[in-house]
Chain A
């Protein structure tokens, strides 16, 4: 049984609209590419993100991406052990980890994500590797002078040289460590900024996805306070009251003196009215 046909007046208004279904140029290709990236790997669901099929599906790509970074992270750990005191920070900023298959390049945040472009991190990682290279070479060279040292009696010059070497090692390590720490901080900052940008856009689901990525990527994160506050606001935005309250309680427990506490409490108060 068919619906009654439109009269002339409505047909004149609605008829032309049937043909107006043209997406902006370029959008089709971008969405297809990002969709295929998102669905082309094993999903790793997160309870916060799986609020519906849309979110669950979109997480597929992200799960794979995160696992991939875990492998890169292991490689970074090995390298980090070799260079000694840099281990942890090197691990968290392993080469290329911002680039390949970035979920923020393949998901709803996609083209508007403020995450830095791939080339930036790749180059910085290359330079980091270059700066690390002399360290193992130096360690390998260390045994060579030992026979001569055994033959010659100790003298001040030798001690002075050893002291200089030790100082140089320490300084070199400090410099590389500072670089790695700075990169880690910058990477953290970018993710937090991306989460905040999503929140400002009203995309709470994207905010949560970015924060999930942040949690998994930065074991020793320096901006957990801000991340937790953003998470509360995203949950409030999505109307997930119970989770928002839970996260707010956790925030207050962890950061009782935080300047963000007032904003967090106010956010939760809004959703519980």
Chain B
């Protein structure tokens, strides 16, 4: 049975997990299902968490794996690709929403590797060593990947602002 610590973590980090799943390409209709999978897995490994470390990088590992499993399904990949290159919807009712929509679509248009590293570095502000540990890559790779991810994101966002359309994967080479 889950102890109070797990429940506290759940409440503290639920929004983080949900937002991350969306940014990792999980469709809105499936977010709840995949979020549950994440927390079931977190619960299973909760005792092994090293309290001396920060929780979010550890939690993001479960989130990333669940989203990756989700994306392995061909149907989801197909539907995700429909997002890319689509016209920005008129749902934005303010500049805030318009900007958020643009950022979200630009993120989704990025290859997974660079999208993940951009999220970890610039949205969640993980340290380079935490990213390296989570992705199991050398620090140098983290730096180069972050640099390239930022430039790719910048190009996608600029193009999105000009045309209201976010290019498809690969359009930027």
Contact = CB atoms under 8 A, between A and B. Distances in A.
Interface of A: 1-4, 6, 9-10, 13-14, 16-18, 20-23, 27-28, 30-32, 34-36, 38-40, 51-58, 60, 107-112, 201-206, 237-239
A32 B74 contact: no
A23 B150 contact: no
A27 B14 CA distance: 9
B60 interface: no
Contacts of B1: 36, 39-40
Dominant secondary structure at the A interface: helix
A28 B36 CA distance: 10
A108 B36 contact: yes
Given A1-B128, A20-B100, A58 B36 contact: yes
B73 A35 contact: no
Nearest to B72: A239
Dominant secondary structure at the B interface: helix
Contacts of A54: 37-38, 40-41, 62, 65-66, 69
Interface stretch (B15-23, B82-90, B108-116, B162-170): B15-23
Interface in B24-46: 29-41, 43-45
Q: How large is the interface on B (under 10, 10 to 19, 20 to 34, 35 or more residues)?
A: 35 or more
A36 B146 CA distance: 37
Contact of B18 (A27, A53, A239): A27
A115 to B, nearest CB: 15
A53 B19 contact: no
Among A28, A57, A203, the most chain B Cβ lie within 10 Å of the Cβ of A57
Contacts of B99: 13, 16
A10 B122 contact: yes
B123 A18 contact: yes
A243 B42 CA distance: 28
Contact of B96 (A6, A16, A38, A109): A16
A27 to B, nearest CB: 5
A108 B37 contact: yes
A10 B153 contact: yes
Contacts of B43: 35, 39, 57
A18 B66 CA distance: 21
